[in-house]
Structure 1
Amino acid sequence: MGLFGKFVYSDGRWTRSAPTAVPFLLVDVHDSGFATVDHRRADAGGGRFFLGYEPRFYFAEVDASDPVDVDAEAEGFAAWAKEATGAELDPAEVLALLASPSGVPPTDEAVELTVDRLAALAGLPPVEWPTEADGYAG
């Protein structure tokens, strides 16, 4: 069994609780197979994308999620990172980390590795992942 849990970046730190400020980033990891990433900016703009797999491919159910406009989401995340950390991201670098809209398997074995790469790209501190001894259920 993989990791299940929600991790929130706001106010300059990662927590396992609700966001305390805007901008924020919420990462919801599902069984280490995919992560739903939600981000909000101060102007109420934001977006949602997936890392690992889109749920419609992970669960092999076409209705499990709508297709993601990965180009728009990469641009949106780059804008979020600029506001949240001042990082100047190339949307192409973000795009390379997003779940494939055609279901191509991800490069990373566990989605936590992709989350780590996204956080580093955005200039965020690393997520403190729980260990199995901590209990994976979020």
Structure 2
Amino acid sequence: MGLFGKFAYSDGRWSRGGPTAVPFLLVDVHDSGFATVDHRRSDASGGRFFLRYEPRFYFEEPDASDPVDVDAEADGFAAWAREVTGAEVDPAEVRPLLASPDGAPPTDESVELTVDRLAALAGLPPVEWPTEADGYAG
């Protein structure tokens, strides 16, 4: 079994659970298979996207929701990173990390690797992933 957990970046640090301030980045990992990523800027604008798979493909229900607009979400994440860390992130570097809206298989073996790559692009410190004893199901 994989990791289940929420990891939030706010107030200049990562924590487990929810964010403590705005702006924030919230990563909700589901069984190391996919993650839901929510981000909010200081003006309360933000977005949501998925890493590795959109839930509708992960759970084999392709008609359960509309596809994510990966171009808009990559642009939004780049704007979030610029505000929060000052990093100039090219949305073209973010797009390949986002879940494919047509269900194409991801390139990373686990969502933790994809989160690490996204955090590095944004100039964030790495997530301190839990050990199997304190975060993994099974």
Q: Does 1:105 align with 2:105?
A: yes
Deviations 1:13-65 (A, max 9, x none): 00013211111000000011100000000111100000000011100112444
Contact 2:28 2:37 in 1 (8 A): yes
Q: CA RMSD of the aligned region, Å? A: 1.0
| Rounded Cα–Cα distance in structure 1 between residues aligned with 2:135 and 2:127 | 16
1:54/1:65 contact within 8 Å kept: no
The count of residues paired between Structure 1 and Structure 2 equals: 137
Structure 2 distance, partners of 1:68, 1:31, is 21
Q: Secondary structure at the match of 1:127?
A: coil
Which residue number in structure 2 is paired with residue 17 of structure 1?
A: 17
Q: Is the 8 A contact 1:11 1:21 kept in 2?
A: yes
State the distance in 2 between where 1:124 and 1:63 align.
34
* Aligned residue in 2 for 1:44: 44
Deviation of 1:133 after TM superposition, in Å, equals 2.0
Distance 1:17 1:103 in 2: 28
- Stretches of structure 1 lacking an aligned partner (at least 5 in a row): none
**Aligned residue runs from structure 1 range 1-138, under 5 A:** 1-137=1-137
Q: Is the 8 A contact 2:5 2:17 kept in 1?
A: no
Q: Return 5+ residue gaps in structure 2 as ranges.
A: none
Compute the TM-score of the two structures, normalised by the length of structure 1. 0.95
Contact 2:4/2:135, CA 8 A, preserved across alignment: no
- Quote the Cα distance in structure 1 between the aligned partners of 2:16 and 2:63: 28
Residues in 1 aligned to 2:45 and 2:128: alpha-carbon distance in whole angstroms: 27
Asked if structure 2 preserves the Cα contact closer than 8 Å seen for 1:7 and 1:26, the reply is yes
Q: In structure 1, how many angstroms separate the alpha carbons of the residues matched to 2:57 and 2:82?
A: 31
Task: Calculate the TM-score normalised by the size of structure 2.
Answer: 0.95
Separation of aligned partners in 2, 1:58 and 1:64? 11
Letter in 1 for 2:19: P
Which runs of 4 or more aligned residues in structure 1 lie more than 2 Å from their structure 2 counterparts after TM superposition? 62-66
Does the C-alpha gap of structure 1 residues 46 and 135 become closer, same or farther in structure 2, counting only changes over 3 Å?
A: closer
